[in-house]
Structure 1
Amino acid sequence: MTIGKTSFNYDEHETKYSSLRQTDPIIAKHIVEALGSAKTVLNVGAGGGSYEPQDKYVVAVEPSISMRKERVNANKVPAIIGTADSLPFDNDSFDASLATLTIHHWPDLEKGLLELKRVTRNQIVIMTYDPNALDVFWNAYYFPELIKVEKARYPKINKITNILGEASIIKDIPIPIDCRDGFQEAFYGRPEAFLQKEVRQSQSAWIFLSDEVEQKLVKRLEDDLTSVNGIKSLERIEKCLFLMGLYV
């Protein structure tokens, strides 16, 4: 499947982003560990400020006015208006840079990653998904059209590492079953959440589906959730504490 523009315009679509997309402490620990001893951190595609370390000097870059407003409302540092492919900083300005669940929005991935390399002295921490591993839980059965969209949007891991260089380290991040961050995989243990429109609105992939297709997928899940037999494919959830779904 191919799609045209992969980015989501948060200024055009009303979302309750900050109330549903919150920092998950387990995921945050992995990011803090990856940032190491860095004192200055650039957060690109910073959104509402999730996963920004509290003990470091953070500079945020965010193109969306609605996201920048959410940062102010959440008492985060104000973000500079800008995009990844044209960062307004000198070479080697920051100890580390951070990009969490954002690179699939970038119109020019290579240019954006090269800009991160240019302005960063040490580590570049990117949290993303492996598009080849997006069908590891039941959403691939109930939302196949949605998974096709996501596979088309997320860049392959080897494409990222080829740009960043051979020293790149790939690490799995466990997604807890009660994950506080409302991306799709966060609800693998709470499938009923997808019946809420505001939950789906906080996940950008849904906007690439027609209303008709979205309602078809939701109804399919709802019918099974309310059936006598329930969802057989979810039987293993009670024994599952983590889903391995993110890469950094």
Structure 2
Amino acid sequence: MTPEERPEVPGARLYDAIGGAYTATRRTEPRIAAQIWDALGDARTVLNVGAGTGSYEPADRDVTAVEPSAVMRGQRPAGSAPCVAAAAESLPFGDRCFDAAMAVSTVHHWRDPMAGLREMRRVARRVVVLTFDTDEPGWQDRFWLTRDYLPEFATVLAGFPPLAAMAGAIDARVEPVPVPWDCADGLFEAYWRRPAAYLEDHVRRAMSVWAKVGPEAERRAVRNLGDDLGSGRWAERNGDLAALDAADLGLRLLMA
């Protein structure tokens, strides 16, 4: 990727800024991984687009990674799959040269998600994408954090394509991906039953949402959540969550 091309990759700029905190809390969640790997089927060669540190790359397949952020590439562990500096919208590979292409929690960072999905469809015979559903009316209210403390989350995904459009672009079927209550991967929704975790700075630093909403919204959300945890108001509102082992918070798997 040339310096001239780099400014066109907003996800790379974001993760160059926040990626240093990523490995502290962003680990492979085995139950989500099993769902992704099962969707890969019998694919032997796999392209991982927006690969980050490679958390969900299957160890038993021939993986090639694509990651535009130098910070994220630098944190990939020794012995991990070879990684190419490129953007999803312009994959430097020939047509149908991979059995499968996968993308995990990265599509919302792409400059042009639809173009990136079409590129994945071009270079692979099978496509597996973990993304987020904004089609459902009132989707912002699925998660108490965005409903009660961070309404700005809606603006983060304001220009995000509808799930139906993304699925249609690659002729994919859609499957929900529940988030376990003890999710090992510290993604934004991971601590839905462990609210005090959102008060920890090192936890928030590995979530792109906070960088996007800005420090003022973050400070307000953290302050109000802390107050409600201390007063017991959060528990009054969300006490029913204690009985759940997993929650549907809008994560979806596209499989084509």
Q: TM-score, normalised by structure 2?
A: 0.88
Please say which of residues 93-102 and 229-238 is displaced more in the overlay: 229-238
Residue equivalent to 2:52 = 47
Matched, 1:30 2:28: no
Residue equivalent to 1:98 = 102
Residue equivalent to 1:125 = 128
2:63 counterpart letter in structure 1? V
Aligned residues: 240
Displacement of 1:14: 5.5
Q: Is the 8 A contact 1:43 1:60 kept in 2?
A: yes
In 2, the alpha carbon distance for the partners of 1:114 and 1:175 equals 27
In 2, the alpha carbon distance for the partners of 1:210 and 1:184 equals 15
Q: Structure 1 residues 6, 145: CA separation in 2 closer, same or farther (over 3 Å shift)? A: farther
Residue equivalent to 2:24 = 19
Matched, 1:138 2:144: yes
1:17 counterpart letter in structure 2? Y
In 2, the alpha carbon distance for the partners of 1:134 and 1:41 equals 33
2:196 counterpart letter in structure 1? E
1:107 is paired with a residue whose SS is coil
Matched, 1:202 2:240: no
Matched, 1:109 2:113: yes
Q: Is the 8 A contact 1:22 1:50 kept in 2?
A: yes
Residue equivalent to 1:70 = 75
Matched, 1:242 2:230: no
Q: Is the 8 A contact 1:72 1:78 kept in 2?
A: no
2:103 is paired with a residue whose SS is strand
Matched, 1:148 2:148: no
Runs of at least 5 residues in structure 2 that lack an aligned partner in the other structure: 1-8
Q: Is the 8 A contact 1:24 1:180 kept in 2?
A: yes
1:143 counterpart letter in structure 2? Y
**1:114-141 CA-partner distances (Å, limit 9, x unpaired):** 11111112x2000011024342121133
Runs of at least 5 residues in structure 1 that lack an aligned partner in the other structure: none
Identity %: 38
In 1, the alpha carbon distance for the partners of 2:22 and 2:225 equals 23
In 2, the alpha carbon distance for the partners of 1:52 and 1:195 equals 30
Q: Is the 8 A contact 1:92 1:120 kept in 2?
A: yes
In 1, the alpha carbon distance for the partners of 2:242 and 2:28 equals 24
In 2, the alpha carbon distance for the partners of 1:84 and 1:210 equals 26
**1:57-116 CA-partner distances (Å, limit 9, x unpaired):** 00000000010011135x422311111111111111000000000010110122211111
In 1, the alpha carbon distance for the partners of 2:41 and 2:22 equals 28
CA RMSD of the aligned region, Å? 1.8
Q: Structure 1 residues 222, 58: CA separation in 2 closer, same or farther (over 3 Å shift)? A: same
Q: TM-score, normalised by structure 1?
A: 0.90
Displacement of 1:23: 0.6
Residue equivalent to 2:84 = 80
Displacement of 1:6: 6.6
